[in-house]
Amino acid sequence: MPGRRGLLALPLAGALAGPAAAAPDVAPIRRRLAGLRLGANLERWYPISRDNQPRRLGAGWWRDFRAAGFDHVRMFLPEVAKTGSGTEIPGLFLDAVQDAVGAGLPVLLGMADFFHQNEPWGERDWAALRERARFFAGRTDPGMVVLAALNEPVFDDAASWLPMRDRLLGEMRRAAPRHLLMWGGHEWCSWRSLIQLRPPADPATVAEMHDYVGGDTTAVEERFGAVAAWRDRHRMPVLVSELGGAVGHETDRAAWAADLAQSLPVLRRLGLPATLWSYSHGSWWRIQEDDRPSPRPGLLPRG
């Protein structure tokens, strides 16, 4: 009989046993994802700068981040209009990725921030996606790094989003033929939008969802149970790659902690890995004090 950790991983592990799991390029990262429980986001510029100056958190920071109880990390690059088209900013993110991987942490890495249906990308954005994907595909370990095109899409409905999702995945796959790719639903990666969708034709993908809903145990179990059912029905792994509390609790640490105390046990029971939002320079959903690698005391439930 599997132990407690094995039981928690069984639903995701089952989803990972589909046809793509045998592919040698994605099998190692799929195995790692099956064992994940809790990670954290490093929001936008946080991994690479402070006070508008470049900085590297360093290997020691990442070791302490892992020692604080996190088993993976998510980061994404700001839009090309804010970074420029060169490799300087991607290079700084590469340093962060390599330091995180060196500490034994799988990395979920997005190539861009938003894609709004009413503000379609221009050629510069598409070119940046391709260039960034090629840059990281050639310099990161597919056994430790999952690549995503976006942080979040903002589309009216599934019918509008699916052709664009598939185009984005196609661009990513041509640039990164050996990496596992991640995608989400049309409404800011919400759970409601995810469960409306069919998985893509590309078998080497995983799905993500973002959650800022909160609620009591019944509400939490209802929405995450629906996500787990979708995962099992489609044999498509899902990561809760942004987890905050309820909207309105952004700076209320006690209320946020109460939200996490409701959601995290349910996610663990369902085998849905969670990635907290976020290590940040801002005040909303700020996990840490200063630049410390450990969460603020009392934020996370024991165990």
Is pTM, for the whole model, over 0.85?
yes
Q: Using CA atoms, how far apart are residues 88 and 97, in angstroms rounded to an integer?
A: 14
pLDDT score at 302: 81
Q: Look up the CATH superfamily of 4-279.
A: Glycosidases (3.20.20.80)
Residues 91-148 pLDDT 10s: 999 999 999 999 999 999 999 999 999 999 999 999 999 999 999 999 999 999 999 9
262 in Cβ contact with 255 (< 8 Å) = no
- Provide the residue ranges of all domains of the chain, joining segments of one domain with +: 4-279
CB count within 10 Å of CB 170 equals: 14
Ranges of residues in the chain with a pLDDT under 50 are: 1-24
pLDDT score at 15: 42
